Amino acid sequence: MPDKLSRERFVPMKQKQQIKNSVSKTSKGTKSNEIIATPASLRSLKRILGIMIAAFAFVLYAPSISFKYTLDDPTVLKENSLVTQGFNGIPAILKTDYWFGTNIRIPEYRPAPLVCYAIVWQFFPDNSMVFHLLNVFLYALSCWLLFMLLCKLFEKQNLLFPFVCSLLYLAHPIHTEVVDSIKSLDEILCFLFAILSTIFVLEYIEKKSIVKLIIAALFFFFSLLSKETGISFLIITPLLLFVFTRADVKSLAIPVVVMVFVTGLFFFIRYKVLEGVPVHGFNSPMNNSLTTAPDFISEKATAFYVLLKYIILLLFPVSLSFDYSFSEIPIYKISDPSALLSILVYVAIGVYAVLKIKQKNVVAFAILFYLLTLVPVSNIFLIIGSPMAERFMYMPSLGFCMVLTFFLIKFTKTESIKSKFSTFGQFISVHTFLFVLVFIIVGLYTAKTVARSQNWKDNISLFEHDVTVVDRSAKAHLSLGCAYLIDLYPAEKNKAKKQQYIDREIQEFSKAIRIYPNYQDAYMNLAVALTDKGDFANAIKNYEMVLKLSPVPEPKVFIGLSSIYLSLGQNDKALLFADSALKYPSNSSDGYNNKACALEGLGKYSEAMPYFEKAIAMSPKSAVVNRNIGGNYGNLKQYQKAIDYLLKSYQFDPSDYKTVYYLGITYRYMGDSTNAAFYMDKSNGMNGNR
């Protein structure tokens, strides 16, 4: 294969001789063995190859359809007040920042994925399988569209380059985070719409159809609405037209002007929507460890080191992780060999691409595609919310796959005669050596992708695996501790296992704090774990650390301290901290519940009731609140009301010992010996297993 994209059919000397011999034999009346592919047979082969690409991509990730929510999936879905409104939430989604429906506020405007979530939620609320199916389907669609785009770009050659490049791209393990994480729909949509936009721009260049140009502009706008990184196609598209078409300057200028207008419109809308949204978080060490660099030079040296790690992961996608935050990536000096090597590599490939692009060189275009799609997430020109992430390689990896495809074809000296084959069998057999190498690489990619995807089936699997890969990441250890705290501990009935979970929580949170001593979230969760363990003295110390580190008071800390003092029977202190919690707005009923319990503990049963009523209004299905109200009504000797609330509590959580015990005692006071005996016996049995 030539170094630059040929405008004419490329025929090696050996093949020319074969054709000459074939013609000679035919002229003598001997039947020729030369394969002559008709346009119809090539179109059929193209359809077959496209279907294979889409089917392979879908089957490769089909197991993820049964996976649970992981990482930020619950935050953008069931914890998002706009998404859970379905169709009704879409108008607000279009007018607010990405995280508006949650308790997080970050200046990001990406309404397209949220609109998709809202539509799916309207018909399939809280169904993780459907959301995963959407990711897998759109990934398969993207890979098919990518193949079709490459076929357009390489139409002067054969289907070989598009097919091999699409195979390598769809199977590359670095895409597992994007496909397996529901939240990464923004990445999929951004690239999908960018591909569609490019296809229609090419259609416009070919047919000079204004309709095609308008459709291309709409898809580019949708790409920007999916994720801001779609802006890289503002440069990639004209570059692509220059390299792969013979369009004149005027033809190139028109779509560029339209795309500039669309970009301006998007940023105007984005600016208006994000007015008043606080710009914070990006300068946090836990979000981006590059902010801990002592100076500008070290910051950029470390950023270049990360860029080198991207190349290594593309070449050897072995050790993959959901997180690369503090302090997995150490801060490098400009004199460090790794930083210097990365700078040299990127300068070298950048210079090569700039010099060669004038010759419409395929490798130069692939390198520039890689660099241009990498720029928005590189931390070189703008510090973003993360030092490194595999999802950031979703688009740049195509440039890598194009370079790999080029050199595989060049290494195997594969011919590129468009009419050399007409069926899939001929397509493979004519390029046997090439496809042996390709299938080996794709096979290795597939094996790793399948294995890596299994890590994403739930948070426990993901965090337990990745904490061994990024052992220096404070966030990875925090995440694993939280998975035990939230997912495993509450549901476990076995006392010994619950104790093991608590010990593991404490271990992970403590390690996160050792890595980052100012890690507020780690202190907070450690305090909760220590409370569950009954180590109240150390729990209080960790809550106090949260108060010390927090720039604004945390209601959850006051609630936690109030709960501890309730357990210690120090109702005055419990009441004091409950009152402190209630000074701040909160969606939790815990503050009212704790205040009511403190008043109850002080013998102020009637005063406690209004606060219990506020708590139950906020959490009507809370077994704990219903049980506490029942107990308070028992203290007020209003036994029937007590029974009503206790039975509700029992309905919501029949395993709660206190509820069962209170039922037995209350029925005894009512003189109902049958029910009293039933619940007392049941509580005795439960107490023995506690």
Dihedral sign for Cα 181, 182, 188, 190, please: negative
- φ, ψ at 412 (rounded to 5°): -85, 0
Rounded CA-CA distance 240/561 in Å is 61
pLDDT value at residue 518: 93
Residues 310/383, Cβ–Cβ less than 8 Å: no
More confident residue, 286 or 650: 650
Collapsing DSSP states into helix, strand and coil, what is residue 570? coil
| Confidence category of residue 283, pLDDT binned at 50, 70, 90 | low
Residue 663, Cβ density class (10 Å: 0-12 exposed, 13-18 middle, ≥19 buried): buried
pLDDT value at residue 614: 94
pLDDT value at residue 30: 39
In 3D space, the residue among 614, 587, 588, 585 whose CA is nearest the CA of residue 599 turns out to be 614
pLDDT value at residue 280: 59
Mean pLDDT over residues 566-572, rounded? 95
Q: Is the pLDDT of residue 482 over 50?
A: yes
More confident residue, 326 or 685: 326
Mean pLDDT over residues 512-536, rounded? 95
Mean pLDDT over residues 271-281, rounded? 80
Mean pLDDT over residues 577-583, rounded? 93
pLDDT value at residue 228: 94
Mean pLDDT over residues 618-644, rounded? 94
Q: Is the pLDDT of residue 5 over 80?
A: no
Q: Is the pLDDT of residue 33 over 50?
A: no
101-110, 347-356, 632-641: segment of lowest average pLDDT = 101-110
Q: At a CB cut-off of 8 Å and minimum separation 6, what does 649 contact?
A: 623, 624, 626, 627, 630, 656, 659
Residues 15/415, Cβ–Cβ less than 8 Å: yes
pLDDT value at residue 17: 43
Rounded CA-CA distance 113/93 in Å is 10
Give 189-207 pLDDT, tens digit per residue. 999 999 999 999 999 999 8
Mean pLDDT over residues 30-34, rounded? 44
Rounded CA-CA distance 453/318 in Å is 13
Rounded CA-CA distance 27/484 in Å is 79
Rounded CA-CA distance 89/83 in Å is 6
pLDDT value at residue 32: 41
Q: Which amino acid is at 369?
A: F
Rounded CA-CA distance 389/289 in Å is 13
pLDDT value at residue 415: 61
Q: At a CB cut-off of 8 Å and minimum separation 6, what does 39 contact?
A: none
In 3D space, the residue among 132, 163, 160, 22 whose CA is nearest the CA of residue 66 turns out to be 132
**Three-class HEC string of 23-36:** HHHHHCCCCCCCCC
Task: Work out the mean pLDDT of the chain and round it to a whole number.
Answer: 90
Rounded CA-CA distance 638/520 in Å is 44
Mean pLDDT over residues 200-217, rounded? 94
Rounded CA-CA distance 541/283 in Å is 27
Q: Is the pLDDT of residue 64 over 50?
A: yes
Rounded CA-CA distance 110/229 in Å is 11
pLDDT value at residue 13: 38
In 3D space, the residue among 445, 484, 456 whose CA is nearest the CA of residue 56 turns out to be 445
Predicted TM-score (pTM) of this structure: 0.88
Give 136-162 pLDDT, tens digit per residue. 999 999 999 999 999 999 887 778 999
Q: Is the pLDDT of residue 102 over 80?
A: yes
pLDDT value at residue 182: 97
Percent of the chain past pLDDT 70, that is, above it, reads 92
Rounded CA-CA distance 238/198 in Å is 10
